[in-house]
């Protein structure tokens, strides 16, 4: 089948996520055909360095035969069985133990889901249910942040703070509140980073007092806001959030769908930012994106309440702990340990990535500021970086840059005017050099396009 045949089929029948399908159908979707290491190839044979690890998930890189073999073996052995009817199976039990062994603190119990959004729905229901068990069903308000992304189910959309999503498919789930995000470069004004971090964290206390401390179930936050543009909070932020949650006895949930499994150069972002969560939601890197699987790791406080409460938790998914996905996730964790992925990141690759990025991309006239930690980075594209002047809202600089990247062998995502990198964790130093070189070249092209369009 030629590319145009596939594009025609796709345009005829495929409704794409987060896409203006009408506009896409006119130009045709890019057809990705295979992957190896940190690269994917499209139907035209163009080789692209995947600076996004798929969608923040292919952490071990493409073409891992071990993962494919484990999946095939499990499919032959037991392709499916549920975990509802007082049954379990080897992959689910082993994976639960393996996850508990790598999560921080006392997150010793694992509830399985199929996607990050489902895991977030579990978080919403479980935090509320916990307080109901404790005799306080009125403690049912969840607090999250503006510009946070927690998925696309109605629960995930409601908990997330994306205005564009809230406008569609409303009404949203009630009893969810949002506070400001800790985006220092964009919103910090004259404040120091540390000051701003405290101000943003204290917005949580203000909100708690506004709605009444006795009505709040949990605060949910990504250790760093990924899809919101890689917004990395100031160092003062999380300790203050932690203190406020403790003060008002509010559950703290870290949504680590992106941060989990090495992205921030620790197994979990909670370790990087000093968070002691009552629950962690995870997906993506859990199976390196090879099969859909997600989980919520639950701390002893909530898990024991659930276990001691003599009743069913009426919640679960057909694919909770799916044996094939679980076998692949288990193998992913094994590979991460065997290949010392986290140690390699800490000792060598993450510092190299940070330095190289700042020395190259960071010097580009369009790049006003880089937020980065571990192997994830967000770059603010500015019209005039010396005066912190943004591009006009009618000129989509991010999309211009993203298109130049795609056409020149690099996948870099745009969130508004922020460009994002989150490459596979197995990337080598030479590949980081190549990534940075390509990024600078594409930024040069972007600059030329902006000038030609009269946006500069």
| φ/ψ of residue 377, rounded to 5 | -150, 145
Is 122 in contact with 113 (CB distance < 8 Å)? yes
Question: What is the Cα 5 distance to its own chain's centre?
Answer: 33
Is 120 or 366 the residue whose CB approaches ligand PLP more closely? Answer: 120
Is 111 in contact with 280 (CB distance < 8 Å)? no
Is residue 255 close enough to count as binding ligand PLP by CB under 6 A?
yes
Is 156 or 197 the residue whose CB approaches ligand PLP more closely? Answer: 156
Is residue 257 close enough to count as binding ligand PLP by CB under 6 A?
yes
**Residue 152 C-beta: closest distance to ligand PLP, Å:** 6
Tracing tokens 């809230």 back to the chain, one arrives at 166
Q: What Å distances lie between residue 456 and 133, 300, 417, 445, CA to CA?
A: 59, 55, 14, 13
Q: How many CB atoms lie within 10 A of CB 143?
A: 23
β partners of residue 420: 378, 413
Is 225 or 242 the residue whose CB approaches ligand PLP more closely? Answer: 225
Tell me which stretch binds ligand PLP (CB under 6 A): 111-119, 188-196, 300-308, 343-351: 111-119
Q: Is 193 helix (H, G, I), strand (E, B) or coil?
A: helix
Strand 32-36, strand 376-381: pairing: unpaired
Is 96 or 296 the residue whose CB approaches ligand PLP more closely? Answer: 296
Closest by CA to 218, choosing from 173, 251, 180, is: 251
Is residue 272 close enough to count as binding ligand PLP by CB under 6 A?
no
Q: How far apart are CA 202 and CA 184, in angstroms?
A: 15
Q: How far apart are CA 453 and CA 383, in angstroms?
A: 13
Q: Is 372 helix (H, G, I), strand (E, B) or coil?
A: strand
Is 287 or 360 the residue whose CB approaches ligand PLP more closely? Answer: 287
Is 60 or 367 the residue whose CB approaches ligand PLP more closely? Answer: 60
> Which one of residues 7, 83, 103, 115 is an interface residue with ligand PLP (CB under 6 A)?
115
Is 130 or 149 the residue whose CB approaches ligand PLP more closely? Answer: 149
Q: How far apart are CA 356 and CA 428, in angstroms?
A: 12
Is 156 or 277 the residue whose CB approaches ligand PLP more closely? Answer: 156
> Which one of residues 116, 223, 277, 289 is an interface residue with ligand PLP (CB under 6 A)?
116
**Residue 307 C-beta: closest distance to ligand PLP, Å:** 26
Q: How many CB atoms lie within 10 A of CB 99?
A: 26
**Residue 54 C-beta: closest distance to ligand PLP, Å:** 11
Is 283 or 427 the residue whose CB approaches ligand PLP more closely? Answer: 283
Is residue 322 close enough to count as binding ligand PLP by CB under 6 A?
no
Tell me which stretch binds ligand PLP (CB under 6 A): 91-99, 144-152, 264-272, 331-339: 144-152
> Long-range contacts: 386-394, Cβ < 8 Å, 24+?
390/417, 391/417, 391/450, 391/455, 392/455
- The H or E element that residue 33 is part of is strand 32-36
Contact mark string toward ligand PLP, 192..231, x via CB under 6 A: ------------------------------x---xx----
> Which one of residues 7, 74, 83, 117 is an interface residue with ligand PLP (CB under 6 A)?
117
**Residue 333 C-beta: closest distance to ligand PLP, Å:** 18
Closest by CA to 49, choosing from 373, 421, 447, 359, is: 421
396: left (phi over 0), alpha (psi -120 to 50) or beta: beta
Tell me which stretch binds ligand PLP (CB under 6 A): 38-46, 113-121, 129-137, 233-241: 113-121
Q: How far apart are CA 389 and CA 391, in angstroms?
A: 7
Strand 176-179, strand 141-145: pairing: parallel
**Residue 325 C-beta: closest distance to ligand PLP, Å:** 12
**Residue 321 C-beta: closest distance to ligand PLP, Å:** 16
Q: How many residues bind ligand PLP (CB under 6 A)?
A: 15
Is residue 277 close enough to count as binding ligand PLP by CB under 6 A?
no
Contact mark string toward ligand PLP, 383..422, x via CB under 6 A: ----------------------------------------
Eight-state DSSP code of residue 349:
I
Q: How far apart are CA 178 and CA 146, in angstroms?
A: 6
Is 165 or 432 the residue whose CB approaches ligand PLP more closely? Answer: 165
Is residue 283 close enough to count as binding ligand PLP by CB under 6 A?
yes
**Residue 107 C-beta: closest distance to ligand PLP, Å:** 17
Is residue 120 close enough to count as binding ligand PLP by CB under 6 A?
yes
Binding-site ranges for ligand PLP (CB under 6 A): 115-117, 120, 149-151, 156, 222, 226-227, 255, 257-258, 283
């Amino acid at each position: 089948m030629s590319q145009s045949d596939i594009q025609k089929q796709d345009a005829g029948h495929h409704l794409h996520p987060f896409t203006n399908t009408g506009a896409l159908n006119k130009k045709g979707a890019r057809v990705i055909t295979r992957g190896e290491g940190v690269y994917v190839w499209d139907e035209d044979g163009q080789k692209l360095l995947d600076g996004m690890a798929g969608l923040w998930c292919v952490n071990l890189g493409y073409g891992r035969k071990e993962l494919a073999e484990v999946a095939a073996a499990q499919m032959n052995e037991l392709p499916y069985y549920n975990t509802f009817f007082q049954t379990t199976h080897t992959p689910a039990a082993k994976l639960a133990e393996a996850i508990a062994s790598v999560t921080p603190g006392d997150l010793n119990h694992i509830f399985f889901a199929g996607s990050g959004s489902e895991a977030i729905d579990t978080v919403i229901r479980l935090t509320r249910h916990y307080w109901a068990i404790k005799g306080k069903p009125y403690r049912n308000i969840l607090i999250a942040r503006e510009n946070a992304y927690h998925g696309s189910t109605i629960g995930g959309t409601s908990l997330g703070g994306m205005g564009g999503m809230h406008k569609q498919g409303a009404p949203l789930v009630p009893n969810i509140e949002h506070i400001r995000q800790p985006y220092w470069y964009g919103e910090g004004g004259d404040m120091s980073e540390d000051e701003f971090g405290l101000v943003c964290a204290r917005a949580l206390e203000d909100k708690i007092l506004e709605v009444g401390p006795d009505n709040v179930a949990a605060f949910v936050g990504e250790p760093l806001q990924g899809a919101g543009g890689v917004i990395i909070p100031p160092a003062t932020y999380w300790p203050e959030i932690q203190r406020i949650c403790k003060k008002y006895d509010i559950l703290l949930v870290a949504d680590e769908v992106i941060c989990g499994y090495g992205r921030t150069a620790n197994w979990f972002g909670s370790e990087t930012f000093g968070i002691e969560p009552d629950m962690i939601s995870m997906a993506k890197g859990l199976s390196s994106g090879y099969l859909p699987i997600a989980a919520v790791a639950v701390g002893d406080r909530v898990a024991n309440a659930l276990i001691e409460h003599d009743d069913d938790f009426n919640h679960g998914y057909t694919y909770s702990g799916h044996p094939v996905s679980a076998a692949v996730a288990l193998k992913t964790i094994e590979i991460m340990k065997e290949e010392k992925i986290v140690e390699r990141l800490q000792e060598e690759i993450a510092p190299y990535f940070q330095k190289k990025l700042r020395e190259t991309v960071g010097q580009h006239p369009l790049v006003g500021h880089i937020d980065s930690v571990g192997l994830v980075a967000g770059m603010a594209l500015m019209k005039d970086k010396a005066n912190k002047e943004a591009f006009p809202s009618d000129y989509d600089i991010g999309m211009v840059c993203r298109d130049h990247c795609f056409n020149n062998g690099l996948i870099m995502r745009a969130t508004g005017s922020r460009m994002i990198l989150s490459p596979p964790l197995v990337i080598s130093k030479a590949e980081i050099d190549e990534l940075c070189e390509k990024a600078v070249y594409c930024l040069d092209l972007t600059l030329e396009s902006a000038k030609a369009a009269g946006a500069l």
